[in-house]
Structure 1
Amino acid sequence: MLSRTGRPLAKTIFGPIAHACVKLGISANTITVVGTFLTVITSLYFFPTNQLLLGFVIVSILVIFDNLDGQVARLTNSSSTWGAFLDSTMDRFADAAIFASFVAWGYTSASEPTRIWVMTGALAALVFGSVVPYARARAEGVGLTASVGIAERADRLVFAGICVLLVGFGLSHWFMAIGMWILAILSFITVIQRMHTVFQQCKAGESEGE
């Protein structure tokens, strides 16, 4: 949901930065790869070492800047199938690193009663969250659409960020534990929604072919 409604705002905020990148000769693919590398390194360092607030700030900035590559590609008329594939693949690396870092935080820093719940919840959120984009990609691969659901990438990252922020400000670690499980459930529901959407399209197609 947020990935669709936030695009006009992102274009307004980062438009000048995108123009600056074009003037400096920085390509969209370079921004994609460098941004992903920094996100992975930052996540896997700051969160497991319990530097939640600093990690939240830096990772949030990097994730927000993730839309720059698309803007630069449009400004330079360099949008391509390779660029879209690269961007989607790099997003999977970044998401996996972020949620893996939450698993690591649970192991290194979560309080004893919450540790197992944080770790398993973050792992479940990682697994189900990775299936969400796969379901859409697989649907598009067979000529259908599945861009629906209550927990798309932006929604999942914002929700996870709120959990990190709450714990970083000293609230109970249960906020992270429960939050990760809620996120896992929302991701699972999104997968079901996409599967249902594809099923309905397949069913409609079969009816038309009769």
Structure 2
Amino acid sequence: MLNSLARASVSKVTDPIGRGLLRSGLTPDLITIVGTIGVIAGSVALLATGHLFWGTMVVTFFVLMDLVDGAMARARGYGTDFGVVLDASCDRIADGAVFGALTFYAFGQGDTVLGVAGLLCLVTGQVISYVKARADSVDLPIGGALAERAERNILGLVGAGLAGLGVPYALDVALWLLAAAGIVTVVQRLVQVRQAAVRAAADPTRHRTGRPAL
């Protein structure tokens, strides 16, 4: 949802940055790796240890680098297959670091209920992305969903940041909303894949494997 709505506006900011970084000799893959390391460091050193506000600031900065590597690829005029796989893999690592850290923090505070919410966010976030990737791998195109990566990161980090500023129950509300949205989105993705599979089965140009006939 947010991915599609914000892409055009965000590109106006990130595209000039991407061109500048390319001229400096950096590569999109390097930016992807640096951003992921930054998210992991901020999550482990700050979010997991209860420094929620500053952890949110650091993690948000490095999460935004995920937008810059795409801008660099566009400015260069091409991407690479390795870059696509690297970016997707690093996204999963970064998301796992953020919600793993928030889950660790919750359990460390003795808040089992919040910890369960964090675990649900962690698991559903990975499954949502996995279902989409597997569907793409067998040529079953599916559309947008309720809680994609942008929504998950925004809601989780806003909740953590507000909690770090002392807003009561901000993290609880954010994680439980996200956990519920994540469960709904997993089901939504599977329904989308099933519908795409039915359409593919009715297509006489496709083999039984689901791939288009040549």
**TM-score, normalized by the shorter chain, greater than 0.5:** yes
**Matches of 2:60 and 2:143, distance apart in 1:** 24
Matched, 1:145 2:145: no
**Which runs of 4 or more aligned residues in structure 1 lie more than 2 Å from their structure 2 counterparts after TM superposition?**
204-209
Contact 1:135 1:146 in 2 (8 A): no
2:180 aligned residue: 185
CA deviations 1:31-73 (Å, max 9, x no partner) are 0011101111111111122111111111111112211111111
Number of equivalences: 204
**Matches of 2:14 and 2:70, distance apart in 1:** 11
Q: What residue ranges of structure 2 are gaps of 5+ in the alignment?
A: 205-214
The Cα of 1:105 is off from its aligned counterpart by 1.2
**Matches of 1:12 and 1:50, distance apart in 2:** 35
The residue type paired with residue 70 of structure 1 is G
The Cα of 1:87 is off from its aligned counterpart by 0.2
Contact 1:136 1:147 in 2 (8 A): no
Matched, 1:129 2:133: no
Matched, 1:158 2:148: no
Matched, 1:99 2:95: no
Secondary structure (helix, strand or coil) at the match of 1:6 reads: helix
The Cα of 1:18 is off from its aligned counterpart by 1.1
CA deviations 1:4-51 (Å, max 9, x no partner) are 211112211122221210111100000001110111111111112211
CA RMSD of superposed structures (Å) = 1.4
The Cα of 1:175 is off from its aligned counterpart by 3.0
2:171 aligned residue: 176
Higher deviation after alignment, 9-18 or 153-162: 9-18
1:42 aligned residue: 42
The residue type paired with residue 23 of structure 1 is R
Contact 2:142 2:196 in 1 (8 A): no
Contact 2:100 2:122 in 1 (8 A): yes
**Matches of 2:37 and 2:116, distance apart in 1:** 25
The Cα of 1:208 is off from its aligned counterpart by 4.3
The Cα of 1:78 is off from its aligned counterpart by 3.7
Higher deviation after alignment, 71-80 or 21-30: 71-80
The Cα of 1:161 is off from its aligned counterpart by 1.5
CA deviations 1:167-206 (Å, max 9, x no partner) are 112122x332342122112111111111111111222233
Q: TM-score, normalised by structure 2?
A: 0.90
Contact 1:43 1:98 in 2 (8 A): yes
Q: What residue ranges of structure 1 are gaps of 5+ in the alignment?
A: none
Q: TM-score, normalised by structure 1?
A: 0.91
Identity of aligned residues (%): 29
Contact 1:104 1:119 in 2 (8 A): yes
Distance 1:98 1:59, change over 3 A: same
